[in-house]
Chains A and B, each alone.
Chain A
Amino acid sequence: MFGAFKPSAPLSGGLLWKIPWRLSPPQKLRHRRRMRRVDNIVSVLDTALKRQAATSAAPAPSSSALSPPASSSSPAPSDLSRAAGGHQRLLASTTPTPTAAQNAVRNGRDTLPTTKRTTPPITAALRNEGTIKLIERWKAEMPTEQEMLPRDKYSMFDRKAKGYRKGVHKLPKWTRVSQRLNPPGF
């Protein structure tokens, strides 16, 4: 009667599996952490490939030049590279911050729908740097967790939903897929 196997509607009925309308705050926190973890993995791959390409091209001197200088106030780069989201902080100083227009496009708020999201073509120069097309495309198109609006973090486009939005947790396997982009204007 009581306990884990008490006859509740989902257990005894069958086709009744309720998903709450909204995400709870801890769910949101875990979701943010998962997104940051994915961002971190992409940056780990990117830096590793670039470093490997640099060292294989010019063995000794470039490797020391590539590694960022460790300042005494901030944690050591080796520590940062281990922590979740650490690589993001490492790269924050080096990578150019996206412009407001880019962010507007990503967030679906831009006024000009003619600006298309275009992937930069992978050129010979990029190939020499060691990056791969997948990563370049991800970096060009996907916003990082910090760049996203809360509305895009926690909800997604749904053509059948009222207001064209539903909670991102309604997406099947939502903890194991990257759903960050929505149609422009929605």
Chain B
Amino acid sequence: MSTPTRFFRITLLRSAIGLPTRSTGVLKALGLHRRLRTVYHPVTPDVAGQVFAVKELVDVQEVDRALSDKEMKELRQPDTGFYVERRAGAKQGETVEEA
């Protein structure tokens, strides 16, 4: 496919506890198993219909690219607040190679 696929970024904000089984099933189909879980799905009428079925529970944005779980985790990590000048046992003046 030559045209760039865009994605829905879907985050579950409200749980479906106590709601009809249908909405729970839709959430499961979308891959939303717990609150604040974010998934990416391509912009298609099928996905739009699924999101529409649970529109009171989720937050949706249209994005260019789907982030992987690893990338999302990296975005969540806070800054460490330090950097390593020199490893223990390394000689004076030896710099740490950037990974």
**Contact with A178, one of B8, B51, B56, B58 (Cβ below 8 angstroms):** B56
Q: How far is the CB of A108 from chain B (nearest CB, A)?
A: 23
Q: How many residues of B contact A (CB 8 A)?
A: 24
Complex formed: what's the CA distance from A135 to B48 in Å? Answer: 9
B89 at the interface (CB under 8 A from A): no
A139-181 at interface with B (beta carbon < 8 Å): 173, 175-178
A113 at the interface (CB under 8 A from B): no
Verify B60–A45 contact, CB threshold 8 A: yes
Verify A134–B52 contact, CB threshold 8 A: yes
Complex formed: what's the CA distance from A118 to B63 in Å? Answer: 34
Verify B52–A47 contact, CB threshold 8 A: no
B92 at the interface (CB under 8 A from A): no
User: Using Cβ atoms and an 8 Å threshold, which residues of chain A touch B55?
Assistant: 38, 41-42, 45, 178
Residue of B nearest to A172 (CB): B18
Given contacts A56-B3, A132-B48, A176-B56, 10 further A-B contacts (CB under 8 A): A45-B8, A45-B52, A49-B48, A52-B6, A52-B43, A134-B52, A138-B52, A176-B16, A176-B19, A177-B56
B86 at the interface (CB under 8 A from A): no
Residue-wise, chain B 19-54 has the 8 Å CB interface mask toward A (1 for contact) of 100000000000000000000000111001101100
User: Using Cβ atoms and an 8 Å threshold, which residues of chain B touch A38?
Assistant: 55-56
Complex formed: what's the CA distance from A37 to B6 in Å? Answer: 21
B78 at the interface (CB under 8 A from A): no
B14 at the interface (CB under 8 A from A): yes
Verify A44–B4 contact, CB threshold 8 A: no
Verify B61–A44 contact, CB threshold 8 A: yes
A9 at the interface (CB under 8 A from B): no
Verify B49–A48 contact, CB threshold 8 A: no
User: Using Cβ atoms and an 8 Å threshold, which residues of chain A touch B19?
Assistant: 173, 176
Complex formed: what's the CA distance from A154 to B8 in Å? Answer: 31
Residue of B nearest to A54 (CB): B3
The answer to whether residues A81 and B61 also contact, given A34-B56, A59-B2, A59-B3 and a CB cut-off of 8 A, is yes
Residue-wise, chain A 29-50 has the 8 Å CB interface mask toward B (1 for contact) of 0000010011001101101110
